[in-house]
Amino acid sequence: MADKSKFRESVKEKPSKSSKLFVVAIDFGTAFSGYAYSSRAEWTKVYANKWAGGEQISYKAPSALLLNPDESFHSFGFDAVKNYASFVADEDCQDYLFFHRFKMILKTSLEKRVHRETKCIAENGKSVDAMKVFTLSINYMKEHLFDLLQNKTVGVELTMEDIDFVITVPAIWDDTAKMFMRVAAESVGIKRENLKIALEPEAASIYCQLMHLESDDNSKFFLAGQKVGAKYMVLDLGGGTADITVHQMKADGTLAELVPASGGAWGGTCVDQAFEDFLVELLGEDVIKIFKMDPEYVEDYFDFWQTFEIKKRSFDTSNKDTFLLRLPVGLADIVANKLNKKGDKTKENQEKITSEISMQQVIKKSIFKDDLKYVHGKLQMNYFFFKKMFDPTVKLLTDHLSKLSKDIGKDLKVILMVGGFSECSVVQEAVREILKDKCRVVIPNEAGLAVLKGAVYFGHQPHLISERVARYTYGIQTWPKFDEKVHLQSKRVTMGDEERCRDVFFRFVSKGEKIKPGDKKSYIFNALKPGERALECGVYISTEEDPHYVDERSCVKLGVLEVPLQSVRDKKLELEESLIFGHTELQVTACNCHNKKEYNVTFDLLSPKINFPDK
């Protein structure tokens, strides 16, 4: 059996792998963002920053950015929401640019991926480069945390060189989105060597392995009593995505990923959208548009959704009580104004309808009349009616979990639920029901901070993930000698005095293959023409395990690997180009096979000019 106290002490005694004074993690979420940190000397003590927004004190701030009309930074988080609400009421401030919940623009498909020219659309309809939006947001977080740490290191002049940074991304994001976040972070002065990308469910898994180190309470060791080799699933439910990995405890205390990361856009904001759709159907699209866009009500609009977020997470499935939600007075006023205006057309001296009565009348005439009441400013909703708003999202999640658990087998022992949406009892109950009698469901304290704090631990102990599984098949485009027994005739091309086959997929790593950090796969290239200034190689990914050609439907070009060359006189020059797998990001190198000279390699995944094959 796993000796939890022995494991606890062995990990705690290990020094941080970071050479810096602090490790800081930035968790950039769809709905909320925050940062946490710990010192190298006491790396197990992780502190999360607290944000103040009016009467609210939170470990995370809204993922909201406000830019000046010239696209320079104005404010972020609670301040951005508050300032936008005040500016939108001023006709002279209509050119200010407000963005919120913009992270999901990076959740792209293989056929349509983010690039340097991707745009974010502000609330006023104007577009700004997404790279600028992310860069300014990360820069604000960086400056905010630097000031905080500087104040904590009295007598020491702190510099950026004293900090290692970790930025979290969903595991289901592709390499392009990860590079996007890295480029955005590096553009604000975070050096490449001082920055790690952490996968969110991995960070949560590490946290739950080590969270007992924050105190002397051994009961927090969530796999207590499990054998080495036990399998467990990490279900990270955030605002935008459900991000799922399966890990196994190894004898050396590290974690091995067992199946490729999976998931989808099944986060808490899906329930928000379902509730907004309900309001549109109940009150009318014009009412909700006024509530959202009219300067008089904008502040109420954002306050309302902040309140809804709290109520959504605390919605209790145990007692089947009526769901109560206070609606802003402004929303009821809009409904009353609409009804009064309509009434004036039919009866000139009609008595004005109050806000309370207007809401009651709308409900009485709606298809929801049996499930709703409006009393003293509160919407009273039938328990089962409100619960239905979770159903589409929860079904997508539980269907996926059911299939995944069957694929893993009976020895899956624990499902670990983390992320803000995991705090909702509707989701907890659904997951427990679908997996009853199969494994234990665990929701750690502060589930919403598991990723953030785990990312700090990852910065100190990145070796704790010792094995991952490839989500795609990776390979390169090659032009081997044509073989009639192997290759398609349509792929035959003549190059000089040789017959070659074009578009061949040379496989480095197959989908589902286990890879360790640092696994290196190489291929020897020859300069085909004397005098070449650069050697270019297309890198491709596929959803199939064994693709044959790079233009198959399952394949897309990931990027172009470019090696700059001095004038090549000998076309027999051989270069070894390598892809390094197993880390959270794909790495590349190139080397002269004869003199072992290392080349500077450009591997650009963000070019908008990458040509994708027709699907």
pLDDT at 155: 76
Query: Cβ-count burial of 524 within 10 angstroms (0-12 exposed, 13-18 middle, 19+ buried)?
Result: exposed
pLDDT at 224: 55
pLDDT at residue 92 is higher than 90:
no
160-175 per-position pLDDT tens digit: 999 999 999 999 998 9
pLDDT at 533: 74
505-519 per-position pLDDT tens digit: 999 999 999 999 999
Closest alpha carbon to 115 in 131, 138, 134: 131
Domains in the chain (CATH in brackets) are: 4-267+401-468 (3.30.420.40), 269-389 (no CATH), 470-604 (2.60.34.10)
pLDDT at 322: 87
Q: Which of 8-12, 238-242, 291-295 has the lowest mean pLDDT?
A: 8-12
Task: Count the neighbouring beta carbons within 10 Å of the beta carbon of residue 603.
Answer: 21
pLDDT at 226: 62
97-135 per-position pLDDT tens digit: 999 999 988 887 766 788 999 999 999 899 999 999 999
pLDDT at residue 341 is higher than 80:
no
Query: Bigger pLDDT: 188 or 355?
Result: 188
At a CB cut-off of 8 Å and minimum separation 6, what does 155 contact?
A: none
Query: Cβ-count burial of 501 within 10 angstroms (0-12 exposed, 13-18 middle, 19+ buried)?
Result: buried
At a CB cut-off of 8 Å and minimum separation 6, what does 479 contact?
A: 493, 495, 500, 501, 502, 504
Average pLDDT, the chain: 87
Question: What percentage of the chain carries pLDDT values higher than 70?
Answer: 90
Closest alpha carbon to 200 in 236, 174, 225: 236
Query: Bigger pLDDT: 35 or 438?
Result: 35
* Predicted TM-score of the model (pTM): 0.89
pLDDT at 369: 93
Query: Bigger pLDDT: 531 or 246?
Result: 246
pLDDT at 344: 47
Q: CA 217, CA 579: separation in Å to the nearest integer? A: 43
pLDDT at residue 418 is higher than 50:
yes
342-369 per-position pLDDT tens digit: 754 444 444 556 778 888 999 999 999 9
Count helices and strands (H / E) in the chain.
14, 34
Q: Which residues, in sequence order, are bridge partners of residue 440? A: 414
Three-class SS state of 350: coil
pLDDT at 571: 55
Q: CA 118, CA 120: separation in Å to the nearest integer? A: 7
pLDDT at residue 8 is higher than 50:
no
Helices 329-344 + 298-314 axis angle, to 10: 120
pLDDT at residue 3 is higher than 90:
no
